Amino acid sequence: MKVICSTLNAKFIHTNLAIRYLKAYAAPEFNIHIKEYTIKDPVLNIVSDLFQQKPNIIGFSCYIWNIEETLKVVNILKKIDPSVYIVLGGPEVTYDTCWWMENYPEIDFIVTGEGEQTFKQLLLEIESSSKAFEKIPGLAYRKDGQVLTTLQRNKLDLKELPSPYRFKEDLPNLGKRIVYIETSRGCPFSCQFCLSSIEVGVRYFEREKIKEDIRYLMANGAKTIKFVDRTFNISRSYAMEMFRFLIDEHLPGTVFQFEITADIMRPEVIEFLNQEAPKGLFRFEIGVQSTNDYTNELVKRKQNFEKLKRTVTMVKEGQKIDQHLDLIAGLPEEDYTSFRKTFNDVFEMRPEELQLGFLKMLRGTGVRIRADEHQYLFMDHSPYEILSNNVLSFEDIVRIKQVEDVLEKYWNDHRMDTTIEYLVTNVFLTPFDFFQEFGTFWDDQGWSRIGHQLEDLFRRLRSFLEKKSIAQLDIIMGLMKYDYLKNHKYKPRKPWWIPSFNKPERSAVYSEIIANPELLGKTFVNLNLDEKEIYKHTMIEKVSFDLGTYLSTNNIVQHPSYLLAFFDPANEQTLIFSTVFISRD
């Protein structure tokens, strides 16, 4: 038999760990072929590629982000080759299994829960003459026109699972894609919006085998390794052991990402990381979701926000680890006003990334089972995102989506950190109000439906601020120029603003700088730039306040100053210099 395990990833850089476990477990009896695509690939291209492999069995790993496209592929495959067995597995089809089988007759089998052993047994049974599928735990199948299911399998002993990380065909792309690694399964918490809450308890893989796998992955070029454990730090001793191992044995350029429960992380662990971890080696993802205590109680989410805040603040002060914090809009009894507070509570910590998501009513979760209690309306198809509930209207959701749009572009992408910090601190009542007002303006202009270049982002923010007649506009324009220039590796050809100087004026200022380089400080003097280099590799602009004082103290001193950006061609970086001491002024 020729067996293929396939999936449609969200992006090319993603890899699917589940189908690699299936391949590893099925060996040596079966040599499973791995075929990965993306949800952006044309369906017919995927079908054509799979068809040309002449498989007897194709298994698909299914999630909310790929189920719609996967079903299109399955439908066409069955039409062109009815003899091929179609097997689905994964979290999206593990729940409401009979519904999937009854509504999609092209599906022959669904493997529910942990699939390694069930899938291998299924392959053996298909190959046999008996076809006794009823003996296989964790399986949905068809018999005499009826859909039948067996009881889900008991939990596997993870220490007995073979490694899914050592296939030769994966080696060429290890450095180009995210490598997902699993050191435990299960979650100790019971958050009712999460599928992990359904499995009770946490099980661990064998530690030394995991370490050997990580050494192998790094030695073969893996650069981004993401741990998929739902709560990596649930065991402090285990987390400390792994952190120590990764610090001691990492290779240059490697980044490790973890999902962390912040309010259970002890200060001594953070102090250890702040002292020992190289900058950029680790990245934390922290689910906050809501700071509304009643909402958290309703979804059985235990969270001490003060301890969470302590952890995030300590990590941020250490300047070693970037943090990605998550919020969920639409949780039970969190209305628009409450969510505004949640957003501001979390934004106050200034995480490097703040992801604003919307509640998805996943099959099998408590919030979906009890949806009527809070009058939830949600999409019938994946990703089952909410449309409204008893305290949050669809209009509210649209407004929050406007916040999400500009938050991603103007905060998470770090294109103008200095400007945004000034706006949310000094101009708008709260950070949420800035993102909401700007997001609404952005949507009203139709910009959410068209693309943009970097310069467009600056022009559009300026248009919004001009429309609001912001009093400090000259200061904000100066900060925007600073942000724009410092994030360029090379001298921009066409900035988004009208230059401060005409050609003769600029030449006069440059002449004075060439004659008196100490005006821009010792660092500039040490560059020892000649006249040609200054003209070729720098830009100079006037701003209405003392930029140097603001950058060092956050205080605005209304005194015109000069901003000079040197675009270092040797190191592909930009150095910014500021002075108020130009005699011509």
Would you put residue 381 in left (φ > 0), alpha (ψ -120 to 50) or beta? Answer: beta
CA dihedral 453, 458, 460, 462 (to 10 degrees): -160
Cα 449 → chain centroid: 22
**Residue 9 is inside which H or E element, if any?**
strand 3-9
Do residues 169 and 217 lie in contact, with contact meaning Cβ atoms separated by under 8 Å?
Answer: no
Cα-Cα-Cα-Cα dihedral sign, residues 340, 342, 343, 344? positive
**Residue 501 is inside which H or E element, if any?**
none
Q: Which residues does residue 61 pair with via DSSP β-bridges, in sequence order?
A: 7, 89
Each residue of 185-222: b (16+ CB within 10 Å) or e?
bbbbbebbbbbbbbeeebebbeeeebbebbeebbebbb
**Cβ count within 10 A of residue 479:** 23
Report the distance separating Cα 547 and Cα 377, nearest Å: 51
Report the distance separating Cα 314 and Cα 316, nearest Å: 5
Q: Which two tokens stand for residue 420?
A: 């945004």
The predicted pLDDT at position 198 comes to 79
Report the distance separating Cα 327 and Cα 336, nearest Å: 13
527-571 tens-digit pLDDT: 999 999 999 999 999 999 999 999 999 999 999 999 999 999 988
Cα-Cα-Cα-Cα dihedral sign, residues 374, 378, 383, 385? negative
Report the distance separating Cα 39 and Cα 12, nearest Å: 9
**Cβ count within 10 A of residue 91:** 20
Report the distance separating Cα 143 and Cα 307, nearest Å: 54
**Cβ count within 10 A of residue 23:** 22
Do residues 191 and 299 lie in contact, with contact meaning Cβ atoms separated by under 8 Å?
Answer: yes
At the topology level, CATH places domain 3-149 in Rossmann fold (3.40.50)
Section 432-444 average pLDDT: 98
**Cβ count within 10 A of residue 514:** 13
328-368 tens-digit pLDDT: 999 999 999 999 999 999 999 999 999 999 999 999 999 99
Q: What is the mean pLDDT of the chain?
A: 95
The predicted pLDDT at position 197 comes to 75
Give every CB contact of residue 311 below 8 A, 6+ residues apart in sequence. 260, 262, 263, 265, 270, 286
Q: Which two tokens stand for residue 219?
A: 């030695």
**Cβ count within 10 A of residue 344:** 16
What DSSP string runs through 518-561? GGG-HHHHHH---HHHHHHHEEEEEESS-HHHHHHHS------E
Q: Tell me which of 489 and 57 has the higher pLDDT.
A: 57
With H, G, I as helix, E, B as strand and everything else as coil, classify residue 128: coil
Do residues 364 and 195 lie in contact, with contact meaning Cβ atoms separated by under 8 Å?
Answer: yes
The correct CATH number of 158-392 out of 3.80.30.20, 3.90.1150.10, 3.40.1350.10, 3.90.199.10 is 3.80.30.20
Phi, psi of 157 (to 5 degrees): -85, 105
Domain range list for the chain: 3-149, 158-392, 487-579
pLDDT over threshold 90, residue 67? yes
Peptide bond into 28 cis (omega under 30): yes
pLDDT over threshold 90, residue 582? no
How wide is the angle at C-alpha 324 spanned by C-alphas 323 and 329, nearest 5°?
A: 145
Cα 448 → chain centroid: 20
What is the band of 583 on the pLDDT scale with cuts at 50, 70, 90? Answer: low
* Burial class of residue 395 in the structure, from the number of CB atoms within 10 Å of its CB (0-12 exposed, 13-18 middle, 19+ buried): exposed
226-272 tens-digit pLDDT: 999 989 999 999 999 999 999 999 999 999 999 999 999 999 999 99
The predicted pLDDT at position 571 comes to 86
4-26 tens-digit pLDDT: 999 999 999 999 999 999 999 99
Nearest to 74 by CA among 91, 65, 61: 61
Looking at the chain, the whole-number percentage of residues with pLDDT higher than 70 is: 99
